[in-house]
Amino acid sequence: MEDIARKAKEIALEVKNIARKTNRRSMFVIENTAGVEKRVIFPPIRCTSNVVAGVVVIRRVSEAREIARSVDGLVDIVLVDVEIKNKALRGVEKIVRKEVTKSEVFTAKLNDMTVEAADALIAQLIGKMSGKRVAVIGAGNIGTKLALKLVERGANVIITRRNKEKAKKIAKLLNIIKTKGTSSRVTWSPNNLKAATGADVVICFAPKMPVITSEIVKAMNSNGLLIDGGIGTIYPDAIKLAGQRGISVLRLDMRAGFAGGVTTILETSNLIKYILGKGSAAGIPIVAGGFIGDVGDIIVDNISNPM
Protein backbone atom coordinates (compact mmCIF):
# COMPACT_ATOMS: atom_id res chain seq x y z
CA MET A 1 0.00 0.00 0.00
CA GLU A 2 2.98 2.30 0.63
CA ASP A 3 4.06 1.93 -3.01
CA ILE A 4 0.59 2.93 -4.19
CA ALA A 5 0.56 6.03 -1.99
CA ARG A 6 4.06 7.00 -3.09
CA LYS A 7 3.20 6.62 -6.78
CA ALA A 8 0.01 8.67 -6.35
CA LYS A 9 1.97 11.41 -4.60
CA GLU A 10 4.57 11.49 -7.38
CA ILE A 11 1.86 11.86 -10.02
CA ALA A 12 0.05 14.52 -7.99
CA LEU A 13 3.23 16.58 -7.75
CA GLU A 14 3.81 16.25 -11.51
CA VAL A 15 0.20 17.26 -12.20
CA LYS A 16 0.54 20.25 -9.89
CA ASN A 17 3.70 21.37 -11.70
CA ILE A 18 2.16 21.07 -15.18
CA ALA A 19 -1.03 22.81 -14.07
CA ARG A 20 0.90 25.74 -12.61
CA LYS A 21 2.93 26.18 -15.80
CA THR A 22 -0.15 26.04 -18.05
CA ASN A 23 -2.49 28.10 -15.84
CA ARG A 24 -4.91 25.24 -15.27
CA ARG A 25 -6.34 23.58 -12.19
CA SER A 26 -4.79 20.39 -10.86
CA MET A 27 -6.92 17.30 -10.31
CA PHE A 28 -6.58 13.70 -9.18
CA VAL A 29 -9.23 11.24 -10.39
CA ILE A 30 -10.02 8.12 -8.36
CA GLU A 31 -11.75 5.71 -10.74
CA ASN A 32 -12.99 2.25 -9.89
CA THR A 33 -13.44 -0.94 -11.86
CA ALA A 34 -15.11 -4.33 -11.75
CA GLY A 35 -12.43 -5.75 -14.04
CA VAL A 36 -10.27 -8.77 -13.41
CA GLU A 37 -7.15 -6.65 -12.93
CA LYS A 38 -5.81 -7.24 -9.40
CA ARG A 39 -3.37 -4.36 -9.18
CA VAL A 40 -3.95 -0.63 -8.93
CA ILE A 41 -3.53 1.03 -12.33
CA PHE A 42 -2.19 4.54 -12.99
CA PRO A 43 -3.25 5.54 -16.55
CA PRO A 44 -1.55 8.48 -18.30
CA ILE A 45 -2.14 12.03 -17.09
CA ARG A 46 -5.18 13.62 -18.74
CA CYS A 47 -5.16 17.24 -19.88
CA THR A 48 -8.19 19.33 -20.82
CA SER A 49 -8.57 23.05 -21.48
CA ASN A 50 -9.11 23.72 -17.78
CA VAL A 51 -7.50 20.88 -15.77
CA VAL A 52 -4.48 18.61 -15.63
CA ALA A 53 -5.49 15.34 -14.02
CA GLY A 54 -3.66 12.38 -12.56
CA VAL A 55 -5.68 9.17 -12.64
CA VAL A 56 -5.81 5.96 -10.63
CA VAL A 57 -8.07 2.94 -11.13
CA ILE A 58 -8.80 1.03 -7.92
CA ARG A 59 -10.81 -2.01 -6.80
CA ARG A 60 -10.98 -1.54 -2.99
CA VAL A 61 -11.96 1.17 -0.52
CA SER A 62 -8.65 0.75 1.34
CA GLU A 63 -6.80 1.79 -1.83
CA ALA A 64 -8.98 4.90 -2.16
CA ARG A 65 -8.21 5.84 1.46
CA GLU A 66 -4.44 5.68 0.99
CA ILE A 67 -4.51 7.56 -2.31
CA ALA A 68 -6.81 10.27 -0.94
CA ARG A 69 -4.47 10.84 1.98
CA SER A 70 -1.42 11.02 -0.27
CA VAL A 71 -2.80 13.57 -2.77
CA ASP A 72 -4.80 15.79 -0.39
CA GLY A 73 -3.53 19.35 -0.60
CA LEU A 74 -1.18 18.60 -3.51
CA VAL A 75 -3.94 19.05 -6.10
CA ASP A 76 -6.81 21.52 -6.26
CA ILE A 77 -9.48 18.87 -6.83
CA VAL A 78 -10.00 15.21 -6.01
CA LEU A 79 -12.63 13.70 -8.33
CA VAL A 80 -14.27 10.48 -7.16
CA ASP A 81 -16.00 7.99 -9.43
CA VAL A 82 -19.22 7.18 -7.54
CA GLU A 83 -20.62 4.64 -10.00
CA ILE A 84 -19.66 1.65 -7.87
CA LYS A 85 -18.66 -1.35 -9.97
CA ASN A 86 -17.93 -3.91 -7.26
CA LYS A 87 -19.03 -4.51 -3.66
CA ALA A 88 -15.57 -3.85 -2.22
CA LEU A 89 -15.94 -0.17 -3.19
CA ARG A 90 -19.15 0.61 -1.36
CA GLY A 91 -18.72 3.76 0.71
CA VAL A 92 -15.78 5.06 -1.33
CA GLU A 93 -17.18 8.61 -1.57
CA LYS A 94 -17.62 8.81 2.22
CA ILE A 95 -14.07 7.59 2.79
CA VAL A 96 -12.54 10.07 0.33
CA ARG A 97 -14.52 12.99 1.77
CA LYS A 98 -13.31 12.04 5.24
CA GLU A 99 -9.65 11.86 4.20
CA VAL A 100 -9.53 14.92 1.94
CA THR A 101 -9.59 18.12 3.97
CA LYS A 102 -7.47 20.53 1.90
CA SER A 103 -8.42 19.84 -1.73
CA GLU A 104 -11.96 20.25 -3.09
CA VAL A 105 -13.90 17.01 -3.59
CA PHE A 106 -16.27 16.49 -6.50
CA THR A 107 -17.99 13.34 -7.73
CA ALA A 108 -18.61 12.00 -11.21
CA LYS A 109 -19.76 8.92 -13.08
CA LEU A 110 -16.86 8.06 -15.35
CA ASN A 111 -18.94 5.55 -17.31
CA ASP A 112 -21.22 8.39 -18.38
CA MET A 113 -18.22 10.32 -19.68
CA THR A 114 -17.29 7.27 -21.77
CA VAL A 115 -20.84 7.13 -23.14
CA GLU A 116 -20.69 10.80 -24.14
CA ALA A 117 -17.35 10.26 -25.85
CA ALA A 118 -18.63 7.26 -27.83
CA ASP A 119 -21.87 8.98 -28.83
CA ALA A 120 -20.09 12.07 -30.12
CA LEU A 121 -17.40 10.05 -31.91
CA ILE A 122 -19.88 7.87 -33.78
CA ALA A 123 -22.15 10.79 -34.68
CA GLN A 124 -19.32 12.89 -36.10
CA LEU A 125 -17.57 10.09 -37.99
CA ILE A 126 -20.78 8.66 -39.49
CA GLY A 127 -22.61 11.94 -40.05
CA LYS A 128 -26.28 11.34 -40.78
CA MET A 129 -27.35 8.65 -38.30
CA SER A 130 -30.93 8.23 -39.50
CA GLY A 131 -31.42 4.72 -40.89
CA LYS A 132 -27.92 3.54 -39.95
CA ARG A 133 -27.56 0.12 -38.36
CA VAL A 134 -25.45 0.05 -35.19
CA ALA A 135 -24.52 -3.08 -33.25
CA VAL A 136 -23.65 -2.60 -29.58
CA ILE A 137 -21.85 -5.75 -28.47
CA GLY A 138 -22.03 -5.99 -24.69
CA ALA A 139 -25.06 -4.06 -23.48
CA GLY A 140 -23.95 -3.54 -19.90
CA ASN A 141 -24.00 -0.18 -18.15
CA ILE A 142 -22.14 1.75 -20.86
CA GLY A 143 -23.54 -0.12 -23.85
CA THR A 144 -27.14 0.30 -22.70
CA LYS A 145 -26.79 4.03 -22.12
CA LEU A 146 -25.11 4.44 -25.50
CA ALA A 147 -27.84 2.44 -27.25
CA LEU A 148 -30.47 4.90 -26.01
CA LYS A 149 -28.49 7.88 -27.29
CA LEU A 150 -27.92 6.31 -30.70
CA VAL A 151 -31.52 5.22 -31.23
CA GLU A 152 -32.67 8.76 -30.38
CA ARG A 153 -30.26 10.00 -33.05
CA GLY A 154 -32.24 7.90 -35.54
CA ALA A 155 -30.07 4.78 -35.74
CA ASN A 156 -31.50 1.29 -35.63
CA VAL A 157 -29.60 -0.29 -32.76
CA ILE A 158 -29.05 -4.01 -32.15
CA ILE A 159 -27.73 -5.01 -28.74
CA THR A 160 -26.21 -8.24 -27.48
CA ARG A 161 -25.42 -9.50 -24.02
CA ARG A 162 -24.33 -12.86 -22.65
CA ASN A 163 -27.51 -13.01 -20.58
CA LYS A 164 -30.09 -13.18 -23.38
CA GLU A 165 -33.07 -12.60 -21.10
CA LYS A 166 -31.52 -9.37 -19.86
CA ALA A 167 -30.76 -8.29 -23.44
CA LYS A 168 -34.38 -8.83 -24.38
CA LYS A 169 -35.60 -6.83 -21.38
CA ILE A 170 -33.13 -3.99 -22.00
CA ALA A 171 -34.25 -3.64 -25.64
CA LYS A 172 -37.89 -3.51 -24.55
CA LEU A 173 -37.15 -0.93 -21.87
CA LEU A 174 -35.14 1.32 -24.19
CA ASN A 175 -38.01 1.36 -26.67
CA ILE A 176 -40.29 2.48 -23.85
CA ILE A 177 -37.88 5.18 -22.66
CA LYS A 178 -36.91 6.67 -26.04
CA THR A 179 -38.58 9.92 -27.10
CA LYS A 180 -42.04 9.58 -28.65
CA GLY A 181 -41.00 11.03 -31.99
CA THR A 182 -38.24 8.45 -32.47
CA SER A 183 -39.28 5.98 -35.16
CA SER A 184 -36.08 3.91 -35.03
CA ARG A 185 -35.94 1.02 -32.58
CA VAL A 186 -33.64 -0.99 -30.37
CA THR A 187 -33.68 -4.74 -30.98
CA TRP A 188 -31.66 -7.54 -29.47
CA SER A 189 -29.86 -10.48 -30.98
CA PRO A 190 -28.94 -13.84 -29.51
CA ASN A 191 -25.44 -13.70 -31.00
CA ASN A 192 -22.82 -11.15 -32.01
CA LEU A 193 -22.50 -12.29 -35.63
CA LYS A 194 -26.19 -11.86 -36.31
CA ALA A 195 -26.18 -8.43 -34.66
CA ALA A 196 -23.25 -7.26 -36.80
CA THR A 197 -24.67 -8.48 -40.10
CA GLY A 198 -25.24 -5.45 -42.30
CA ALA A 199 -24.10 -3.06 -39.56
CA ASP A 200 -22.61 0.32 -40.42
CA VAL A 201 -21.11 0.57 -36.93
CA VAL A 202 -20.05 -2.11 -34.47
CA ILE A 203 -18.90 -1.04 -31.01
CA CYS A 204 -17.87 -3.60 -28.42
CA PHE A 205 -17.79 -3.23 -24.64
CA ALA A 206 -16.73 -6.74 -23.66
CA PRO A 207 -14.51 -6.48 -20.55
CA LYS A 208 -10.96 -6.59 -21.93
CA MET A 209 -11.40 -9.80 -23.88
CA PRO A 210 -11.49 -10.36 -27.67
CA VAL A 211 -14.94 -11.19 -29.05
CA ILE A 212 -14.93 -9.42 -32.43
CA THR A 213 -13.92 -12.06 -34.97
CA SER A 214 -13.07 -11.90 -38.66
CA GLU A 215 -16.50 -13.43 -39.35
CA ILE A 216 -18.13 -10.44 -37.67
CA VAL A 217 -16.01 -8.06 -39.76
CA LYS A 218 -17.03 -9.92 -42.94
CA ALA A 219 -20.69 -9.50 -41.98
CA MET A 220 -20.41 -5.71 -41.55
CA ASN A 221 -21.02 -3.22 -44.32
CA SER A 222 -17.82 -2.19 -46.08
CA ASN A 223 -16.48 1.30 -45.29
CA GLY A 224 -18.08 0.97 -41.87
CA LEU A 225 -16.77 1.76 -38.40
CA LEU A 226 -15.49 -0.73 -35.81
CA ILE A 227 -14.80 0.56 -32.29
CA ASP A 228 -12.99 -1.20 -29.48
CA GLY A 229 -14.83 0.19 -26.45
CA GLY A 230 -13.65 -2.33 -23.88
CA ILE A 231 -9.90 -2.36 -24.71
CA GLY A 232 -8.69 -5.49 -26.48
CA THR A 233 -12.07 -6.69 -27.73
CA ILE A 234 -11.02 -7.28 -31.37
CA TYR A 235 -8.96 -10.24 -32.59
CA PRO A 236 -5.80 -9.25 -34.55
CA ASP A 237 -6.94 -11.03 -37.73
CA ALA A 238 -10.25 -9.14 -37.53
CA ILE A 239 -8.37 -5.83 -37.37
CA LYS A 240 -6.35 -6.80 -40.45
CA LEU A 241 -9.46 -7.85 -42.38
CA ALA A 242 -11.26 -4.64 -41.44
CA GLY A 243 -8.44 -2.62 -42.98
CA GLN A 244 -8.67 -4.66 -46.17
CA ARG A 245 -12.43 -4.02 -46.36
CA GLY A 246 -12.12 -0.27 -45.81
CA ILE A 247 -13.58 -0.46 -42.31
CA SER A 248 -12.09 2.06 -39.88
CA VAL A 249 -10.93 0.49 -36.59
CA LEU A 250 -10.58 2.68 -33.52
CA ARG A 251 -10.00 2.26 -29.82
CA LEU A 252 -12.48 4.44 -27.95
CA ASP A 253 -10.67 7.48 -26.56
CA MET A 254 -12.80 9.00 -23.81
CA ARG A 255 -10.83 12.24 -23.39
CA ALA A 256 -13.55 14.37 -25.05
CA GLY A 257 -16.18 12.93 -22.72
CA PHE A 258 -13.86 13.49 -19.76
CA ALA A 259 -13.23 17.10 -20.78
CA GLY A 260 -16.94 17.77 -21.18
CA GLY A 261 -17.80 16.12 -17.88
CA VAL A 262 -15.12 18.03 -15.99
CA THR A 263 -16.22 21.32 -17.56
CA THR A 264 -19.81 20.66 -16.44
CA ILE A 265 -18.62 19.93 -12.88
CA LEU A 266 -16.51 23.08 -12.68
CA GLU A 267 -19.13 25.31 -14.31
CA THR A 268 -21.77 23.99 -11.90
CA SER A 269 -19.48 24.75 -8.98
CA ASN A 270 -18.95 28.26 -10.34
CA LEU A 271 -22.71 28.67 -10.78
CA ILE A 272 -23.40 27.68 -7.18
CA LYS A 273 -20.59 29.76 -5.68
CA TYR A 274 -20.83 32.99 -7.65
CA ILE A 275 -23.89 33.19 -9.91
CA LEU A 276 -26.93 31.56 -8.30
CA GLY A 277 -28.87 33.31 -5.56
CA LYS A 278 -31.06 36.17 -4.37
CA GLY A 279 -29.82 39.62 -3.41
CA SER A 280 -30.24 43.28 -4.14
CA ALA A 281 -28.61 45.96 -6.25
CA ALA A 282 -29.25 49.63 -5.45
CA GLY A 283 -32.12 48.50 -3.27
CA ILE A 284 -33.74 46.49 -6.07
CA PRO A 285 -34.33 42.76 -5.35
CA ILE A 286 -32.52 40.55 -7.87
CA VAL A 287 -32.22 36.82 -8.58
CA ALA A 288 -29.82 34.85 -10.81
CA GLY A 289 -28.73 31.41 -11.91
CA GLY A 290 -32.18 29.84 -11.88
CA PHE A 291 -33.07 30.95 -8.36
CA ILE A 292 -36.85 31.34 -8.14
CA GLY A 293 -37.65 34.54 -6.30
CA ASP A 294 -40.77 36.64 -5.74
CA VAL A 295 -42.99 38.61 -8.08
CA GLY A 296 -41.18 41.83 -8.89
CA ASP A 297 -37.65 40.46 -8.46
CA ILE A 298 -35.37 41.33 -11.36
CA ILE A 299 -33.58 38.47 -13.10
CA VAL A 300 -29.90 39.23 -13.73
CA ASP A 301 -26.98 37.32 -15.18
CA ASN A 302 -24.83 37.09 -12.04
CA ILE A 303 -25.77 37.63 -8.38
CA SER A 304 -22.20 38.54 -7.41
CA ASN A 305 -21.54 41.07 -10.16
CA PRO A 306 -24.72 41.74 -12.18
CA MET A 307 -24.09 43.29 -15.58
User: Mind giving me the DSSP string for 236-294?
Assistant: HHHHHHHHHTT-EEEEPP-HHHHHHHHHHHHHHHHIIIII-EEEEETTEEEEETT----
What CATH code would you report for 112-255? 3.40.50.720
Is 80 exceeded by the pLDDT of residue 141? yes
pLDDT digits (tens, 9 = 90+) for 111-139: 999 999 999 999 999 999 999 999 999 99
Average pLDDT for the chain? 95
User: Quick one: fold of 2-108?
Assistant: Rossmann fold (3.40.50)
C-alpha to C-alpha distances, 139 to 101, 124, 209, 262, nearest whole angstrom = 39, 22, 15, 25
Q: According to CATH, where is 3.40.50.720 located in the chain?
A: 112-255
pLDDT in the model for residue 183: 95
Lowest mean pLDDT among 29-38, 91-100, 227-236: 29-38
CB 63 within 8 A of CB 33: no
